[in-house]
Amino acid sequence: MAYETIIVEVEDHVALITLNRPDALNALNDQLLSELVKALEDAQNNDKVRCIVITGSEKAFAAGADIKMMSEKSFVDVFAGDLFGPEAEGIMRIRKPIIAAVSGYALGGGCELAMMCDFIICSDTAKFGQPEINLGVIAGMGGSQRLTRFIGKSKSMDMNLTGRFMDAEEAERSGLVSRVVPAKKLMEETMTAAQKIAEKSMIAVMAVKEAVNRSYEVPLREGLLFERRVFQSLFATEDQKEGMSAFAEKREAQFRDK
């Protein structure tokens, strides 16, 4: 499918999705979000793809939801049409791992999109923020919920109430991102991480994603039980036999996703 607001490249088992609305700093409009969900679903259904990377430009991962698109909408429009609801659900349905490679601005919906990915690697130029308060609204896709769980109440309140931006160093210190790398190295480092994941058993990879995400959904005891049962279930796979035999035989495991 030909996309107009994103670029999709699949290479070496990694689908790289680049947000591409340079004139609007990759602001997320209906078209971009529906193209993004379609590309993610294609990656999910493509057996060659084992990891997904979402990135933007050097200046902006995404500067938020498209304010110009939203400005004339009424409450009825956004409530009845469930603005951004189906797209958010669509992204959450993806079971393959997704890494966000963030350079420049990740604001509002841009920060929220990055947080919907499984982890964030950012460049030293990255700036995160939930500036919706300046527009007379609040975050709508996780900025008051995921951000609070990731960086704690005090910092989340600060970000959401003042609308200030957080730089890369603070984002790493706060636990919002997993690594900060020099801007020039962002894609190289991210693709190396994606390749590393692509070498693993896809069954175990999907299990990790489900188990870690569950830690945000259920009480600890339930989460621990879920984790233990999934761990035990993986002993039904050939990849578990292969992974453990390869260790004992001092060779690289050859996983077959079975």
Q: What are the catalytic residues?
A: 65, 109, 112, 132
Asked whether 109 and 140 are in contact (CB, 8 A), the reply is yes
Pick the closer one to ligand CO8 by CB: 36 or 198. Answer: 36
**Pick from 35, 118, 132, 239: which binds ligand CO8 (CB under 6 A)?**
132
Spatial distance between the Cα atoms of 237 and 234, rounded to a whole number of angstroms: 5
Dihedral-angle region of residue 90 (phi above 0 means left; psi in -120 to 50 means alpha; beta otherwise): alpha
Q: Which of 142, 141, 144, 92 is nearest to 118 (CA)?
A: 92
Pick the closer one to ligand CO8 by CB: 105 or 255. Answer: 105
**Pick from 131, 186, 198, 237: which binds ligand CO8 (CB under 6 A)?**
131
Pick the closer one to ligand CO8 by CB: 135 or 183. Answer: 135
Q: What binding mask, one character per residue, do residues 7-46 give for ligand CO8 by CB under 6 A, x or -?
A: -----------------xx-xx------------------
What does the block give as tokens for 210? 């489900």
| Shortest reach from residue 167's CB to ligand CO8, in Å | 13
| Shortest reach from residue 223's CB to ligand CO8, in Å | 27
Q: Which of 107, 16, 97, 121 is nearest to 65 (CA)?
A: 107
Q: Is 102 in the site for ligand CO8 (CB under 6 A)?
A: no
Q: Is 61 in the site for ligand CO8 (CB under 6 A)?
A: no
Pick the closer one to ligand CO8 by CB: 139 or 151. Answer: 139
What does the block give as tokens for 125? 């130029």
Q: Is 140 in the site for ligand CO8 (CB under 6 A)?
A: yes
Asked whether 255 and 200 are in contact (CB, 8 A), the reply is yes
Site for ligand CO8 in 109-128 (CB under 6 A): 109, 112
Asked whether 61 and 26 are in contact (CB, 8 A), the reply is yes
Q: Where are the alpha helices (DSSP H) in 175-253?
A: 186-198, 202-214, 220-233, 238-248
Q: Other CB atoms closer than 10 Å to residue 138's CB: what's the count?
A: 12
Site for ligand CO8 in 226-255 (CB under 6 A): none
Interacting residues with ligand CO8 (CB under 6 A):
24-25, 27-28, 63-68, 84, 105, 107-109, 112, 131-132, 135, 139-141
